[in-house]
């Protein structure tokens, strides 16, 4: 009984770790695509913008991925 509960607990942890890795992979992919779009549109990415991208949530990147279509500067794109 104890061994079965332990196995279930371990499986739950493994399932949760897999889900976290999946979400982190999705966010990293979004970040890489947005970074590529920024480089194509504005050229090099200054350190301050890279730092902001590195710490951005999926929601922020979603907003920026739409805004890049109309933004006329990197400042305008990454404005809060």
What would the pLDDT profile of 4-45 be if each residue is shown by its tens digit?
887 888 888 877 877 767 767 778 889 999 999 999 999 999
> Are the beta carbons of 61 and 38 closer than 8 angstroms?
no
User: Do 65 and 30 contact (CB within 8 A), yes or no?
Assistant: yes
* pLDDT tens-place string over residues 50-67: 999 999 988 999 999 999
Sign of the torsion formed by the C-alpha atoms of 29, 34, 37 and 39: negative
How high is the pLDDT of residue 23?
Answer: 67
Distance (Å, whole) CA 38 – CA 36: 5
Q: State the pLDDT at residue 64.
A: 96
Domain boundaries defined on the chain: 2-77
Residue 69 binned pLDDT confidence (cut-offs 50, 70, 90): very high
């Amino acid at each position: 009984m104890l061994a079965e509960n332990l196995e279930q607990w371990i499986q739950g942890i493994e399932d949760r770790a897999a889900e976290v890795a999946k979400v982190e992979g999705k966010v990293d992919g979004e970040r890489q695509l947005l970074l590529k779009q920024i480089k194509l549109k504005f050229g090099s990415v200054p350190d301050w913008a890279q730092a902001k991208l590195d710490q951005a949530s999926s929601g922020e990147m979603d907003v920026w991925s739409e805004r890049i279509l109309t933004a006329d500067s990197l400042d305008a794109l990454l404005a809060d």
